[in-house]
Amino acid sequence: MYLRRDTLLSEIDFIDHCFLDRTGGISTGNFRSLNFGFARGDDDQNVLQNRRTVAQHFGIPISNLITLHQKHGDSVHVIDADNIEEYRFKDPESMLNIHGDAIITNIPGLLIGVQTADCAPILLCDKKNRFIAAIHAGWRGALGNIIENTVETLLSLENNRPLSKPLESELLVGKMAHRTAAYLSVREESSTGLTHQEADYEELWKRSNDIVAAIGPCLQRDSFAVNDEIIDRVDDRYLTHLPDKTLFDMQAYITDKLLRLGVKTVSHVNIDTFTQENFFSYRRQDGHCGVQFSGIILRG
């Protein structure tokens, strides 16, 4: 098991994190060897042992290693003292019943994470308020609202309290990035001061400066040929048009989205899961593969 760590996240002394590859487990065949995914064709007992291995490395029980049944959607789960028992790992079936693509918590000792095999794992830490988050973002998630929803939710939390005045629903469904330029323009031109809504939005913007984000191993541009379904939805600056194919720079797209949300510190491990055979790759393995784990934990 090889634990890759991001340089900037490693500078934060109250967390630990990892971007794992596929080595160090007991699974065999297409799932060799540290497969983290249930319901993919691997033996559940192998996956359980793989998860125990990682939990033991971080010094926690397997019940405190928490993932979701990912759906390429935009659902964010916040784990707190009131609902923690709902999320503790008990068995594969109960885990697979909790659908979502991002987790946020401020509870020490919980290793929250995502599972990927070409999609992008994104780990975040709010250094000021000591919240952590993990996001699963493939191209559907990146083009959708999972990143916006996670950052907005993360920013609205402070010591388990919401902002003094809740944001209107319009700003809570993934539109913060699209409104940033318009908001700043209005603010600069206004001579009457900020409205309550604008003040809350400004507060969110300031808080985002405290967030550090790291994008883990995923499909890099040269390995990500795309079809019209993606080409028609992406700004051309993220596309490279070659005579026989068009390439999508998903990592750059995600990075810019985080920056537009006000997350000023974004780093990358710059590993291509397609070309590196010590990582699972859905594309390279024609969909017959396991998934690797990326996770983050608050130390007590």
Tens place of pLDDT per residue across the chain (300 aa): 888 999 999 999 999 999 999 999 999 999 999 999 999 999 999 999 999 999 999 999 999 999 999 999 999 999 999 999 999 999 999 999 999 999 999 999 999 999 999 999 999 999 999 999 999 999 999 999 999 999 999 998 864 444 333 333 333 334 444 444 333 333 333 334 445 545 555 666 666 789 999 999 999 999 999 999 999 999 999 999 999 999 999 999 999 999 999 999 999 999 999 999 999 999 999 999 999 999 999 998
- The single-letter DSSP state of residue 209 is G
In a domain? residue 176: no
In a domain? residue 271: yes
In a domain? residue 205: no
Q: What is the pLDDT of residue 218?
A: 98
CATH of the domain at 127: 3.60.140.10
* Beta bridge partners of residue 111, listed in sequence order: 65, 297
End-to-end CA distance of the chain: 24
- Asked whether the beta carbons of 249 and 221 are under 8 A apart, the reply is yes
CA distance 210 to 270: 23
> Total domain count for the chain?
1
Residue type, 99: H
Residue type, 68: L
Q: What is the pLDDT of residue 180?
A: 40
Task: Report the 10 Å Cβ neighbour count for 5.
Answer: 13
| Residue 110, helix vs strand vs coil | coil
CA distance 216 to 218: 6
CA distance 130 to 270: 26
How much is the pTM? Answer: 0.88
CB neighbour list of residue 165: distance below 8 Å, 6 or more residues apart = 196, 197, 199, 200
Residue with tokens 């604008």: 198
In a domain? residue 183: no
For residue 288, the enclosing domain spans 3-162+210-221+264-298
The pair of structure tokens assigned to 128 is 């000021």
In a domain? residue 28: yes
Sign of the dihedral defined by the CA atoms of residues 100, 219, 121, 144, in that order: negative
Length of the chain, please?
A: 300
Q: What are phi and psi of 188, to 5 degrees?
A: -65, -30
Q: What is the pLDDT of residue 47?
A: 98
In a domain? residue 23: yes
Closest CA to 138 of 291, 298, 246: 291
CB neighbour list of residue 146: distance below 8 Å, 6 or more residues apart = 73, 74, 75, 76, 101, 102, 135, 136, 137
In a domain? residue 29: yes
Phi-psi region of 100 (alpha: psi -120 to 50; beta: other; left: phi over 0): left
- The single-letter DSSP state of residue 158 is B
Largest distance between two CA atoms of the chain: 66
In a domain? residue 180: no
